[in-house]
Amino acid sequence: MERRHASASAAAAGRLVLLSSLLLLTTAANGHNITRILAKFPEFSTFNHYLTITHLAGEINSRETITVCAVDNAAMNTLLAKHLSISVIKNVLSLHILLDYFGAKKLHQITNGTALAATMYQATGSAPGSSGFVNITDMKGGKVAFGAEDAGNLDAAFVKSVKEIPYNISVIQISKILSSPDAEAPTPGPAEMNLTNIMSRHGCKFFADTLSGTEAEKTYMDNLDGGLTIFCPSDDAFKGFLGKYKNLTAEGKTSFLLYHGMPIYQSLIMLKSNNGLMNTLATDGAKKYAITVQNDGEQVTLETKINTAKITGTIIDQQPLAIYTIDEALLPKELYKAGLSPAPAPAPEAKGKKSSKKHHHGSPPAPDTSDSGPSPADSPDDDVADQEADSNDGGSRFESGRLVSVVIGLWLASSLL
Ligand SMILES: *[C@@H]1O[C@H](CO)[C@@H](O)[C@H](O)[C@H]1NC(C)=O
Ligand SMILES: *[C@@H]1O[C@H](CO)[C@@H](O)[C@H](O)[C@H]1NC(C)=O
Ligand SMILES: *[C@@H]1O[C@H](CO)[C@@H](O)[C@H](O)[C@H]1NC(C)=O
Ligand SMILES: *[C@@H]1O[C@H](CO)[C@@H](O)[C@H](O)[C@H]1NC(C)=O
Ligand SMILES: *[C@@H]1O[C@H](CO)[C@@H](O)[C@H](O)[C@H]1NC(C)=O
Ligand SMILES: *[C@@H]1O[C@H](CO)[C@@H](O)[C@H](O)[C@H]1NC(C)=O
């Protein structure tokens, strides 16, 4: 009897452990830290450094099943001698991150002797067509050969296993950088990017058309080199809003458009790990036109005092520019507060310069795009499809207070019609 009781509670405890580890899997970062793993091996210091400055280290840490194909400093120097831009180096290195677990044993026992492994390059959507896969082939004499699928050769070889944490992370050394014409192709420099075209082509045509040719568009462009993040309301969210936008004063329109941009580059992982009050391009002095970035589980939300928008997808994430789609236009309290007509907006600073004023409880992240990586606290999900799926569950949870202010905000907004 006692034993049965004990085993029943053991089973219950087991289920609890299973349940909590499932929770951990979905909500917490994994234990591994690629920076720390590689720090023990000076021969990989250059590779490690570039994982940090490209922000790939954070992406690796937040994945659950991953293989990193490291190269030594001599091989990295060959890559660096090509003088590629940092975003191209990021593409090349992301081809060295396989989205599956390949320990030394699995590499030598590949079913049918050859396999194509999906990589982070392919997963982030930067890879054109079907490139972004790595061909792994078992060769005579126990050798394992690697090559980028688009290069059509297998000129890198497995050297040794560096660190294996079974089924979580495997770090292996390969003999040289995987050459890939696609990954090494130059990415357009910030100045050549046409923001409104990029947004139009990815479901934000109404917002892009509204922005096009305005003072706000110039401010966006002025900030591109130093880092820019744009939150563009999707067409579904924005087309119904156009009437209300058109009713704003000229100044109000500019402020509204600038409110949808931040004067720093923020990858999704950085947004997830830098919650708090943040300045927008419309910010003009303390606490004006600020937005609170807040995680709701895996979901990143943007809170104004009036409403809460969810990030539903990534249009582009290419340092120094990130553009995300959101499911609602952001309503600043400076424009949409009590009253029947939009409040007159204070003019935003002419050039949208970064405000240097700090909010006392904000966490101004201002990450220097050229050093220290992010410290991810969560699993990333740069996959647009996944995010769009997330956004479909419609499950934004409101505290009752916030719900009330949203309802009031909606009522005010609709009374403007
Ligand atoms: C692998 O990751 C899981 C959760 O993601 C963790 O529970 C487990 O302890 C990790 N395994 C090792 C050997 O660290
Ligand atoms: C990973 O390790 C490095 C070096 O030890 C440390 O600076 C960094 O904060 C760690 N990152 C995380 C996410 O713990
Ligand atoms: C291995 O080859 C067989 C026969 O060609 C094929 O049916 C099978 O799908 C292959 N397995 C893998 C994992 O590619
Ligand atoms: C990998 O490349 C080799 C040599 O080009 C080729 O024979 C093999 O079919 C490729 N493997 C896969 C899975 O495409
Ligand atoms: C972006 O492209 C559109 C048309 O393709 C053009 O009208 C617009 O002037 C361009 N914007 C900039 C800032 O070059
Ligand atoms: C715009 O303002 C006018 C005049 O105040 C008002 O009649 C109209 O309903 C407003 N339209 C919207 C969409 O708010």
**Is any atom of ligand 3 closer than 6 Å to the C-beta of 111?**
yes
Spatial separation of the C-alpha atoms in residues 417 and 407, rounded to whole Å: 16
Its pTM stands at 0.65
Spatial separation of the C-alpha atoms in residues 172 and 400, rounded to whole Å: 51
From the CA of 376, the nearest ligand is: 2
Cα 37 to middle of ligand 2, angstroms:
10
Stretches in the chain below the pLDDT threshold 50: 1-28, 338-417
Domain locations along the chain: 30-174, 191-343+356-393
Cα 198 to middle of ligand 5, angstroms:
10
Render pLDDT for 151-210 as a digit per residue (tens, 0 to 9): 989 999 999 999 999 999 999 999 999 999 999 988 877 778 899 999 999 999 999 999
Contact predicate 255/288, CB 8 Å: no
**Is any atom of ligand 3 closer than 6 Å to the C-beta of 356?**
no
Cα 33 to middle of ligand 2, angstroms:
6
Which residues are bridge partners to 323 per DSSP?
230, 316
CB-based contacts of 380, cutoff 8 Å, min separation 6: 58, 59, 62, 63, 268, 269, 272
**Is any atom of ligand 3 closer than 6 Å to the C-beta of 414?**
no
- Residue 2 has phi, psi (to 5 degrees) of -60, -40
Fold of 30-174: FAS1 domain (2.30.180)
**Is any atom of ligand 5 closer than 6 Å to the C-beta of 218?**
no
Atom of ligand 1 nearest to the CA of 30: 5
Whole-number pLDDT of residue 30: 58
Whole-number pLDDT of residue 193: 84
Domain 191-343+356-393 in the same topology as domain 30-174: yes
Cα 146 to middle of ligand 4, angstroms:
10
Contact predicate 317/304, CB 8 Å: no
Whole-number pLDDT of residue 94: 94
Q: Tell me which residue of 205, 103, 216, 206 sits closest to 158, measured CA to CA.
A: 103
Question: Given this structure, which CATH class describes domain 191-343+356-393?
Answer: mainly beta
Please count the other Cβ atoms lying within 10 Å of the Cβ belonging to residue 396: 17
Whole-number pLDDT of residue 317: 84
Render pLDDT for 3-55 as a digit per residue (tens, 0 to 9): 444 444 444 444 433 333 333 333 335 589 999 999 999 999 999 999 999 98
Whole-number pLDDT of residue 186: 86
Spatial separation of the C-alpha atoms in residues 107 and 158, rounded to whole Å: 9
Contact predicate 383/99, CB 8 Å: no
144: its two tokens: 């394992």
Peptide bond into 367 cis (omega under 30): no
Q: How many residues does the chain have?
A: 417
Spatial separation of the C-alpha atoms in residues 294 and 23, rounded to whole Å: 20
Classify 178 as helix, strand or coil. coil
Cα 200 to middle of ligand 5, angstroms:
11
Q: Name the strands in the sheet holding 308-318, side by side, starting at the edge strand that comes first in the sequence.
A: 261-262, 228-233, 321-326, 308-318, 299-303, 290-296, 276-279
